[in-house]
Structure 1
């Protein structure tokens, strides 16, 4: 028996007419806007995730379990993910190491966040975030990984929340046969993030754990590190922690002629000052202007002679979308402030956005 399927072109044309009609009756919103509300994790939307659980790790650190949207491409242990979360009406972006197993059956990922003094986002996540919250996501990134095959001898050197990418690696190291030493610094035993799990790994013989409790032992002395790990030069080393520690490690490894055996991950501080108006840098053209709090970035750029992409100039067509390299801008329709740290490349609409402090636009 032979069956005849409808012609794809006919089906496509009918679908297009239905969507066109729906857009007319839902103006100024389009069907995609309603779908975002119903299913924010759908594959065709901007990549998002929903917080499904939050687990305490220490008095000031939590692990956040996130169900990513269907566009999530997975990650390599040791990588990080940038998340965008609204804090007091302002979209903030931060990068956090992924600490979950890559083989989770539920498809969820996890990040572990430590609240830092005056940390707007970290304190919000640790103290105020709740399951059900939808966050923006980027794809996983970063090169602080073990590579395709783990080396036979490994040293992990971490301090504070620097243990998070390392835990992402440890949780995914199964049957590698590697000799692994973990040297970790924290103020007290109770402040060791994943302390119980790390100690369990040592009891199982999977790692050798050296804990340095700085409130009692003082800071880790890089110059005498060979007393803790006598075969230092034979190990590939991954280090993550405060800048001072990493600087000292890089100097020591360089002096010993083994700089190629040290891999570091630095957590960069993000300091963004919000205000009303500010200095706008159009980085590609090298143009810098002072823009008022009610002046759109589109108008400010055009007045300075910058070639600005645009369309409807009403925030509808998205023809003016460009990356915000760093700084803060305010949406003139809602008053919401969006911020970005260097390298974030958060997308903004210049026709409805004004400077909310100094900012750098990728134009």
Structure 2
């Protein structure tokens, strides 16, 4: 009896080859675009694509602040309350990236998350989002990140100090964790918020409702009538602040005042701060910045980050957190010198050195050439 040796199955290789041929034909038909480009038009939020979101609504909070509701792509991962997300949006034909705190509760039934944006003078992205963006706009996203979050072991007494849009990461925490923690573990929460007037308080009605329900003790400081909030004023408003673990977010001047006060009291380790811009400590004379591949040369002062100067001149720049944390703005310094605005450290490069610099926290320290 002769044994029959089965032939190897050719079905799978044949199907794979057929698929490859179909894709090649599709690429020829759709050139200069790729089939994936058409899929992006039909389903920009699909799994496996670049992470995007679609703006579902823009809800105005105050005269210059709005909550933007975003439906993220299918690869979006849950955030931790207090974290921020980088948003890439096209403004006047230029894609710009900014970081905004997430203000929504976890696990919304509609699958969306929210950011709340305050329009600042001359802010290209913030004004666009607050005043010009319409539902249906597709934006680019990064996964959420950030360390401005509550620890797993909640403190018995907490203090949140905010001013202006600094309330946004704190509202993300309050909505998700603080009122629940209070009811389950007796967490004592004080919120001190500073704004020019009562009408300028972002989330004012919701904060006051939390206070009325006993979830928080709310102290509002209306600076138009009461003056700016600082460490000394805060100590009067919250006499037991030395007993509280504190989270603070707001303008640099406020945060620096709080840091000095906490250091003077010997409790600096109990203060956690979140900055939307880096602290500028040391500036220099500035200089000429050349962007070799773009063919542009700018005269920049010693206090302006190279990233800001380039964007103001209309150059499309890589960017991220804009605080020197994420390294999304790094570019090669081909030649010259730049100064780190946070500590005054000068970085120099000669041709061929291969030095990388963060443009969001670096200013010109004389003539320099950026490979961009």
TM-score range with shorter-chain normalisation?
0.7 to 0.9
Which residue of structure 2 lines up, in the alignment, with residue 298 of structure 1?
none
Distance, in Å, in 1 between the alignment partners of 2:70 and 2:10 is 40
After TM superposition, the structure 1 = structure 2 runs for residues 328-339 of structure 1, keeping only pairs within 5 Å, are: 338-339=316-317
CA change 1:7–1:258 in 2 (3 A) is: farther
The answer (yes or no) to whether the contact 1:156–1:238 under 8 Å persists in 2 is: yes
CA change 1:269–1:235 in 2 (3 A) is: closer
After TM superposition, the structure 1 = structure 2 runs for residues 171-210 of structure 1, keeping only pairs within 5 Å, are: 171-173=175-177, 174-177=179-182, 178-210=187-219
Which of 328, 340, 349 in structure 2 is aligned with 1:345?
328
In the TM superposition, what is the alpha-carbon distance from 1:21 to its structure 2 partner?
2.1
Gaps of 5+ in 2: 1-8, 280-287, 297-305, 332-367
Which residue of structure 2 lines up, in the alignment, with residue 111 of structure 1?
115
Which of 266, 290, 312 in structure 2 is aligned with 1:279?
290
Q: C-alpha offsets along residues 248-291 of structure 1, whole Å, 9 cap, x if unaligned?
A: 11111111111111000001179xxxxxx9613xxxxxxxx586
CA change 1:170–1:255 in 2 (3 A) is: same
Give the 4+ runs in structure 1 shifted more than 6 A: 327-330
Which residue of structure 2 lines up, in the alignment, with residue 233 of structure 1?
242
Question: SS state of the match for residue 225, structure 1?
Answer: helix
Question: SS state of the match for residue 339, structure 1?
Answer: coil
* Matched length: 301
Please state if 1:20 is matched with 2:24: yes
Normalised by the length of structure 1, the TM-score is: 0.76
Normalised by the length of structure 2, the TM-score is: 0.74
Which residue of structure 1 lines up, in the alignment, with residue 90 of structure 2?
86
Which of 190, 215, 220 in structure 1 is aligned with 2:224?
215
Superposition RMSD in Å: 2.9
Which residue of structure 2 lines up, in the alignment, with residue 299 of structure 1?
none
Gaps of 5+ in 1: 271-276, 281-288, 294-324, 331-335, 349-357
Which of 295, 302, 315 in structure 2 is aligned with 1:292?
295
CA change 1:269–1:25 in 2 (3 A) is: same
Q: C-alpha offsets along residues 183-232 of structure 1, whole Å, 9 cap, x if unaligned?
A: 00000000000000000000110000000000111111311422211211
Q: C-alpha offsets along residues 115-135 of structure 1, whole Å, 9 cap, x if unaligned?
A: 111111111111111101111
Distance, in Å, in 2 between the alignment partners of 1:195 and 1:359 is 47
